[in-house]
Chain A
């Protein structure tokens, strides 16, 4: 009954937008709106469906506001309001600013998951003919998921009008999804629909076909199963690519965490257990920058990471130099003492951050360009991970350039190769040590900015990366930046190929054992430095 109602009304809305039927629906529109004012899930559910069926041009706006949590009601007045972007309430029924309504009297219309699905389905049906191509595409996707039969006629109209081939295909697929699972449709129609879904060939299509295969018999079942087989074969290939991508992404995180250590440990030979805390401080710098922007200039939020990166570099760099000058320079050549001192220091830094910021995680938001996914063939690539890979590569290249092309890089390499000779040539080795340690720490701080996007910003952040960082540097070969790059990527990809069948825990153990055995065979790592520097 309900379903048929919507179908009829949608049809009327889309085809006969005349004043003739407006009156008849005005009443049901008002009644539907009243359903939002009772704060009962079942009433809200009814209200959404009735509203979608009312054919009122305001319906899409109201349901859209409900989806965004901007729909409010007042129990006493039995009125419903929409808050616009600046939190000003509008009368939902007319869309005009509501006067004399205080925000205290308004409570939001609550949703649960079941209602959210109703909202998605209703909105999908209502926005199929929207002027905005993005919304039309989203509407097609949500109809594909909801498979609401009532949307069929609207879909046919939309397909007829659509000019954008991408949206047209999405609309056809949505139509096919409805037809394929419609048990009273003709068999050849359903078979054709299954073909369309098969051509879509993604995870959602697979789910849909599995459902159909389980619920039908004969040629339909065979067609669905053939479709499942074809999609699975195609996905299996993409799956491997997906693993490579995940591996590169994990590798880039390892690279970021380890590359600063590759300078302090790899090049300078300092076992710096407080390296992870530099990463952590970098992440907290991001938090502080974002807090400041939130309270002073929210419009800049999208830029927060670009502001945080140089700041984190400077802050952690200065802390690094201070550590080198006050502790580490007295301990050169005594690795065990350095290890103990820096370990103690890492605990002090952790507790200091815990005292200043509290033990709880801090919220670091993701700017718009870091959130969301896009599909690349069968790969679902998240923007956040993609930018982190890019950032890791940029940091790596920049560091190589600094070491190769700048006077500071030249001096630093001279000091690590032969300290006394460099000193005899007039290089202030103390200063170079401090700056090199500051550089390593500063890079760790920049890594912290990136890691704040994917991990907890808590005082323990650094601890989880310190072991992995040492592992990468030792595996890659101490003193070799290229080794660090190759090691990070190898470990990342190997981990991601092991994980699906060995599990995350066992995968990690297998890798550790592999590295232990590898180090037995090649104690100097993948790319061992040769020559006199090694013996010094």
Chain B
């Protein structure tokens, strides 16, 4: 009965919630349509609803400035309901029926993988705003979130240098992003001379809520006389009980710091952060960053949502950068034609919210600074380290299968070009 239910659940979700999708309705011919493909219901709604709102705000602002190419932008919002096959259906609907010029969307890697064939087949553009595991570079996708070298590796470097960490716990939720990131980190740590005995890797199921054993294991692992840190790729919902258990068992940031890659301002909004003060997160943006662009963005966001308490976070900034890059590319190309815009985008520059300028690279990733923040008592982050602009690597230098690969859609027209064999496709070994 259990498997039967599990199989049925996504299907029911789709049925029951298909009715909730909002669509553009009647539209004037002289608008440019922008597709927004974020879950507004189901498990991922917790993270993705905000991104839909920020896109609506950005489009609204752009229209106030006169739109793009003299035309107004028209948002088309659909709800893929946290259901991976439905993402592909909705993407097809956006491109074929609604004729959108570009789509901003997806959160989980599996949803991105699910819509990928659709974007290739129908030749459209997807802006993907979330930090992910890398090992991908597609012609139709622009990755505005962090690749592992823009988040995980600088975070580990920070802990090695500032906290003198010698022993590492890599804890993650059991799916592709943590597994790939941890594989990269393990290879990186070993390359830095960390003994295999000093690395503990642990995976937990989605939504894991009983962390007693794992937290006490971490405590044990941390009492071997060497400074220990936890690198957490624990996803979404499982974080709250994890941090609560850390607080309960009295593991303080001064003893065993935890650096997280999926915990931002939004996630902390649901926790009492007092016991977590000092634990770390690595992102490319924090709401607490002081810059004129960020102050303006936060004010616009509060005005738009009519809620002065709504927090901002890293994937929102990614959409901000991606949207501005798309606008610039369309204006430069003079058309919204997908092929022309795809060719124009690499090299396009747009300001980010931390006071710098990001650039779209030929591998369809962008340059970003890496920020390390310590959790404060009020649920915000105190930035303790900031790097210069780091270009995103589509393929990790630390993995056997990908160290010789690059993505280059400008000259080589190839997402996995092998610089050793000078051939497109395949792996590097």
Contact = CB atoms under 8 A, between A and B. Distances in A.
B272 A464 contact: no
Contacts of A499: 213-214
A69 B378 CA distance: 11
Interface in B3-35: 5-6, 12-13, 16-17, 20
A456 B225 contact: no
Contact of B220 (A203, A460, A464): A203
B335 interface: no
A interface: dominant SS: helix
A116 B214 CA distance: 26
A278 interface: no
A504 interface: yes
A49 interface: no
Contacts of A467: 2, 5-6
Contact of B204 (A145, A362, A365, A505): A505
Contact of B270 (A112, A116, A208, A362): A362
A460 B254 contact: no
A468 to B, nearest CB: 10
Given A249-B212, A351-B41, A343 B269 contact: no
Nearest to A211: B225
B207 A460 contact: yes
A185 interface: no
B360 to A, nearest CB: 31
Contact of A504 (B20, B203, B270): B203
Contacts of A253: 210
B223 A206 contact: yes
A22 interface: no
Given A246-B213, A385-B212, A347 B17 contact: yes
A512 B241 CA distance: 23
Interface in A179-225: 203-204, 206-214
Interface stretch (B184-192, B243-251, B391-399): B243-251
Contacts of A297: none
Interface in B373-404: 374, 377, 382, 384
Given A253-B210, A504-B203, A210 B271 contact: no
A91 interface: no
Contacts of B210: 246, 249-250, 253, 495
Nearest to B8: A343
A360 B223 contact: no
A458 B272 contact: no
Given A361-B46, A456-B240, A380 B249 contact: yes
Given A359-B46, A380-B249, 10 more contacts: A145-B255, A246-B210, A343-B12, A344-B16, A361-B267, A371-B247, A454-B244, A454-B245, A464-B209, A503-B203
Interface of B: 1-2, 5-6, 12-13, 16-17, 20, 41, 43, 45-46, 49, 162-163, 174, 202-205, 207-210, 212-214, 216-217, 219-220, 222-226, 237, 240-241, 244-245, 247-250, 253-255, 257, 266-267, 269-272, 275, 278, 374, 377, 382, 384
Interface of A: 69, 110-114, 116-117, 120, 145, 203-204, 206-214, 242-243, 246, 249-250, 253, 343-344, 347-348, 351, 354, 359-363, 365-366, 371-373, 380, 382, 384-385, 454-460, 463-464, 467, 470-471, 495-496, 499-500, 503-505, 508, 512
